[in-house]
Structure 1
Amino acid sequence: MADKKRELIIEKALQRFAHFGIQKTTMNEIAEDLSMSKPSVYYYFPDKTSLTIAVIEWIIKEYHERLSLLFEGSKDMSESVIAMLELRIEFLERYFMLHLEDNTEQSLCREEVKDSIVKIRTNEIALVANLFDKGIQAGELNLQDSSHTAELFINMLSGIAMWVLGEQKKQLIPDMESFRSVFIKQKELAEIFLKGIGPVLNQP
C-alpha cells in the first residue's frame, strides 16, 4: 500500500510538472489533487526536491525501458537511430515544461537534482554506445571509441533541440511545428553522422 501511494504521488506530480512546470507546482496542490493531507505527502517525500528527483527517475526509467526495446526490435543502425529520435521528440514535447534538455528550470539547479539530470544523459549515452558496438560487430560502423562517439552524438542532438526551441522565446511552450523542426534537423544530422562513421568502402 505504501509503495502504491508513493507511485500515485509521483504520477500526480509528474502530471503537474509537465503541465505547469516544477517551479509553479506546490506540494499542497499535489496533495489536493490526490485528496490527501499535506502531511501525508510529506511522509513519503520530506521536501519538493526529493519529489522532483523521484519524478525525474520515473522519467529515466520509462525512457530507458522504451529505448532498450526499440533498439532490440530494430533491423539496422539507421532504423534504430530514427526510432530513438522519434522517442526523444515524444519525451521532449511531453515533458518540455520540466526543461530536462536545457536545465533552465531553477528547481533543477540544486546539487541533489543535478545528479538525476546527469543520469538521464549517462544512461542514454550508454545505450547508444552499446548500439554502436553492435553496429561495429555487424560491419555497419567504423569507429574506435563507441562511448565517446555516442556522447558526441547525444550532445549534438541536444544542441539542435536547444537551438531550435531557443528561437521560440515569445512562446511559453513551443508549437507542434517547432518540435517537428527539431526532429527534422536531428534526423538530417543523424544521416550525416552515420555516413561519417559508416564502413570504409574500398575504392576501385
Structure 2
Amino acid sequence: MVLITHCGGNTDKINEILVAAQRRFGMYGFEKTSVSEIAADLHMSKASIYYYFADKGKLFGAVIEKEHSEFIESVEQECETLIDASDMLRAYVNINIEFFRKLLNLSRVKHSDIMENRYAQEQMVELRQKELVIIEKTLTKGNEQGTFNVENSFEMAHLFLDLLKGLRKMTIGRKDVFYLNDEEYNDLVKRVRDFTEIFIKGISI
C-alpha cells in the first residue's frame, strides 16, 4: 500500500489498524475520529499508529484502498469463472451493489470526508480506472463472442459507470452519511438490475 510509511513485514498489525480505523471512520466520520481513539481501541499508543501511517488522512486513504482492493478482487475472481460477457456484466453489478451495502452498513463513509481528503480522492480515481478496465474488457469480450455490438468499448464503459453511479446517487439523495435501510437498499438493487438488463439488451446483437 502506497500510503504506509513503514511495513517491516508486519502485515497483521497493519491490517489490525485498518480494521479498527474502518470501524471508527464508519461510525463517526473522518473529522470526528481521532488517531488517539483508534489507538485506544487497539490498546496501543498513537506513536505506534503513526509509525505505519504518517497522518490521519493517509490512514483514511488506506482504509478506502483496502475496501476497494477487496471489491476489485471479488469481481475479478467471479468473472474468471464465467464465459458469457453478459453474465460477467451482471456479476460485476451484483458484486458492486453488495459491496456498496457493505460500505453503507459497515463503513458509512461520508461523501464530504472523501471530497475533502486528497488521499481518499486519489483512491477513488484509481478505483474508477480499475473498474473501467474491467467493464471495457467485458464489452470487448462480448464483441468478440458476437453477442455485443459496441463501437467504442472505452466510451461505453465510461457511460455504464456514470449511469450506475447516478442511480446510487439518486437513491442516497442528500444524505451526508451513506446509510440505507432495507427498503431503500432493495429498491436500489431492483433499479440497478433493471438498468443492467436494459443496458445489456441495448448493446446485444
Q: TM-score, normalised by structure 1?
A: 0.86
- Which residue number corresponds to residue 190 of structure 1? 196
Amino acid at match of 1:196: G
Give the distance between the partners of 1:72 and 1:172, measured in 2 at CA: 31
Deviation for aligned residue 1:175:
0.2
The answer to whether the 8 A contact 2:109-2:178 is kept is no
The answer to whether the 8 A contact 1:60-1:120 is kept is yes
- Which residue number corresponds to residue 98 of structure 1? 109
**1:59-114 CA distances to partner (integer Å, 9 max, x unpaired)?**
12111111011111124233222222221122211112114xxxx22354233331
The answer to whether the 8 A contact 1:23-1:107 is kept is no
CA RMSD of aligned residues (A): 2.0
Give the distance between the partners of 2:120 and 2:167, measured in 1 at CA: 24
Match of 1:15 among 9, 19, 23: 23
Structure 2, unmatched stretches of 5+, are: 1-8
Amino acid at match of 1:22: F
Q: Do residues 128 (structure 1) and 135 (structure 2) align? A: yes
- Which residue number corresponds to residue 59 of structure 1? 67
Give the distance between the partners of 1:132 and 1:67, measured in 2 at CA: 15
Q: Secondary structure at the match of 1:95?
A: helix
Structure 1, unmatched stretches of 5+, are: 200-204
Give the distance between the partners of 2:180 and 2:54, measured in 1 at CA: 33
Percent identity of equivalent pairs: 30
Give the distance between the partners of 2:170 and 2:181, measured in 1 at CA: 15
Q: TM-score, normalised by structure 2?
A: 0.86
- Which residue number corresponds to residue 184 of structure 2? 178
Q: Secondary structure at the match of 1:164?
A: helix
- Which residue number corresponds to residue 166 of structure 1? 173
Match of 1:84 among 88, 92, 104: 92
Displaced runs of 4+ in structure 1, greater than 6 A? Answer: none
Aligned length: 194
